[in-house]
Amino acid sequence: MEVRKGELTAIYGCMFSGKTTALIAEISKRNLKPHQLIVLKPSADNRHVESLLVTHSGLCYPCITYEPELDFNTLITPYTELIVFDEAQFFDKLFLFDIKKFLGKGINVIAAGLNLDYRKRPFGLMTSLIEFADHHVHLKAPCAVCQEPADYSFRKLNNNVLLLIGGNEYYEPRCGNCFEQA
């Protein structure tokens, strides 16, 4: 068994389930200074040209864009207390290994992302990450059709590209029943 001194929190759900809001709430309650926190976003998420995470208390944390060649370990300082992975479904498979290393060093990790893709299949490493997590924040959105709690991201376009990123022009949350009726 690996020694785990830090804790992993997984925040997950479908699109529009409030993952970023939950992420900001999780960060805010820890009262960290900007140099104690690292926020990473994958480069596939190109919605934000300039990326900043702003907490409820008004603290701004710059988001580092993750590229496959980036070595996370070069970002760590003796002050690092928390590492945040946003859109965690897009990180590659080495990243679980890195998370285990951070937890072993006593650094806490929060990973937020989509657990299922638009075909209801496990998205990237989110399933393993959720199983591995100490704390779970499972979010649901109101179904776009019936308003019941929804777990699925329904793609409105007939397009098979998995990495189509966008907002409500492409996707809407749907419960299991309304997803199947489409």
Binding region for Zn ion (CB under 5 A): 143, 145-146, 148, 175, 178
User: Minimum Å distance from CB 128 to Zn ion?
Assistant: 29
Say whether 7 is catalytic.
no
Phi and psi, residue 147, nearest 5°: 70, 0
Sign of CA dihedral 151, 88, 168, 57: positive
User: Minimum Å distance from CB 149 to Zn ion?
Assistant: 9
Helix (H, G, I), strand (E, B) or coil at 177: helix
Chain length of the chain: 182
Cα separation, 96 vs 145, in Å, equals: 36
CB of 122 or CB of 149, closer to Zn ion: 149
CB of 40 or CB of 141, closer to Zn ion: 141
User: Minimum Å distance from CB 118 to Zn ion?
Assistant: 16
Given 2, 87, 148, 172, which residue is catalytic? 87
User: Given its phi and psi angles, is residue 107 left (phi above 0), alpha (psi -120 to 50 degrees) or beta?
Assistant: beta
CB of 134 or CB of 148, closer to Zn ion: 148
Active site residues: 87
